[in-house]
Amino acid sequence: MRRSRKQLALAGVLSAFIGAVAAVAFAGSATDLTGVPSANTRSAGYAPASVLSPELAQIVVAQGSYPLDGGTAAVPYYGYLGGAPMVPALGSNVEAKKTEPDKNTYLVFKDGLTGADPAYNYGTHFLFQGHEGGSPGTITRINLDADAAHRVTLLATKDADGNNLATIDGSTWDAWSKLLLLTTESASAPTYAATPGYPSTVTDVSGSLGRGGYEGIQNDSTGNVWIVEDIGGSAPAGTNARRPNSFIYRFVPEHPSDLSKGKLQVLQVFAADGHPITTSSQAAVGASDLAALHVYGSSFDTRWATIHNTASDGTVPFNANTLAKAANGTPFKRPENGVFRPDGKFKQFFFDETGDTNATSTENGCCGGWGSIYKLTQKSPTADSGTLSIFYNGDGTHAAFDNVSFFDKDHIAFVEDAGATLHQQRNGLDNAWMFDVTKDYSNPANQPVRFIAEGRDPSATIDAGLVGTPGFNNEDDNEITGIHVSNGDPSKNGILGAKHPHPWKGHGPDRWRVFYTQQHGDNPTYEVLRIK
């Protein structure tokens, strides 16, 4: 398709601006960011701006009020469903349901992709999201080279069988099947595979990958799919602690390009005396197995146990969480996301626990209540065994870890999802933290660097005042989600973990880029730039 002069001019201005900023930032890295001194405070009616390290800036690439290319009356905007105002009238709590764009996946397609307007050239640089709120669930694509009218395309609200999509949390690009994989954080909802073009064809792949509280999802170098589950556990009587109830999975396809056949496995962790650490062995408050998993310097043997095989068990969708418990898999406190260290070897997998998100949890001090970060080490991504160790134990300042991305081979960012309760208890909003994986964080002298102190936009501040009123159905405080560093390479060599990231260095269309979404409120998605 031939682009108009106006389209070419717009794309040129955008590319020149971002490229110029990147060129100025050629010498920058993740290792020399100045820390933001403190979190933004939370109080009624207070809408502070986000504060970034002084070396960084951010620009909006899309926000909730952007009209959708190919939108419908039910889903007209990037961050809002139809049928109600974006902001409630004075004295009212009625506003549109917010769709909450979640995890980002950045891809570059040299031949471009189609959109709702057959006469428009949508460019080559794209950012994909599933949406966590509203019904139907939605999949969108930010067309980073496009003008405002074509900036965000609605790819799908239904699957290939005509069913409304469930709400979506995680996403990744499977380079073998050439499909987006999307998770729904529900054992009753499908796991999806979707084509990247318009309209997207969305299929249910939970007859092989299963259904669970899936959130994080990631390929390894052999085409296996690693899945991180987030299902909150029950609370022991009289406590604000939560029992571990979420598992780490690995799907091993018979053939990497075919997601319909293969084995789903669950991670088992073994105590020093050889017994598996299970749901029952961590059920008591402060259980010894639970506490042991959070001791610096300890190491635990691991093994992958097959819980479902399409060759023998068929392809009817199944509840992976139930099968994981029956197979004595090891549950964790809401391990929401994980990623491989980008050394090309896929031997180290870092994943987090969000924890109990409550400052009064009895397990904050001993057992991961504040949230934690683990390192799983194997000889190869296909190995059946390995070792697990604690990399970082959270505390009242560093807590409730959620999305994650490596910025270079040694520096990994985790962002918080503390929620309104912990925000109030800490009198502080969420943060983004940069960790150095070569450091020993059992030493109090070593501390991660806060590079974003998230603010709260006016819409989220209004929502915070309306939460709890009858009929109000939106979230309140903003949340950092979808932190993502990628050069957009859709080939097998471009999967996260295959190459050392180099954000902010160099310029041009194939540079590494950094994105995140400020969920809730106005729901903006940002690109983070290095400015000095």
- Encode pLDDT of 148-189 as tens digits: 999 999 999 999 999 999 999 999 999 999 999 999 999 999
Please list, in sequence order, all residues whose beta carbon lies within 8 angstroms of the beta carbon of residue 107, skipping any fewer than 6 positions away: 126, 127, 128, 173, 196, 486, 488, 490
Give the pLDDT score at 11.
Answer: 47
Give the pLDDT score at 6.
Answer: 45
Give the pLDDT score at 506.
Answer: 65
Which of these, 314, 330, 338, lies nearest to 266 by C-alpha position? 330
Cβ-contact 417, 336 below 8 angstroms: yes
DSSP string over 437-476: TTS-TTSTT---EEEEE----HHHHHHHHHTTSTT--S--
Q: In the sheet where 139-143 sits, what is the strand order?
A: 101-108, 125-131, 139-143, 152-156
Please list, in sequence order, all residues whose beta carbon lies within 8 angstroms of the beta carbon of residue 414, skipping any fewer than 6 positions away: 352, 373, 401, 402, 403, 404, 432, 433, 435, 448
Give the pLDDT score at 31.
Answer: 80
Cβ-contact 367, 361 below 8 angstroms: no
Give the pLDDT score at 473.
Answer: 93
Residue 39's Cβ-side half-sphere holds a number of Cα atoms within 13 Å equal to 22
CA distance linking residue 50 with residue 57, whole number of Å = 10
Give the pLDDT score at 509.
Answer: 64
pLDDT tens readout for residues 111-144: 999 999 999 999 999 999 999 999 999 999 999 9
Residue 257's Cβ-side half-sphere holds a number of Cα atoms within 13 Å equal to 3
Which of these, 228, 278, 222, lies nearest to 252 by C-alpha position? 222
Q: What single-letter DSSP state applies at residue 158?
A: B
Work out the mean pLDDT of the chain and round it to a whole number: 94
Tell me what the mean pLDDT of segment 362-379 comes to: 97
CB-based burial of residue 242 (10 Å sphere; 0-12 exposed, 13-18 middle, 19+ buried)? buried
Residue 469 neighbours by CB distance under 10 Å: 9
> Rg (Cα) of the chain, in Å, rounded?
22
Tell me the two tokens of residue 118. 């057959």
CB-based burial of residue 288 (10 Å sphere; 0-12 exposed, 13-18 middle, 19+ buried)? middle
Cβ-contact 224, 382 below 8 angstroms: yes
pLDDT tens readout for residues 316-364: 999 999 999 999 999 999 999 999 999 999 999 999 999 999 999 999 9
Q: Where does residue 204 fall: left (phi above 0), alpha (psi -120 to 50 degrees), or beta otherwise?
A: beta
Over 70: is that where the pLDDT of 394 sits?
yes
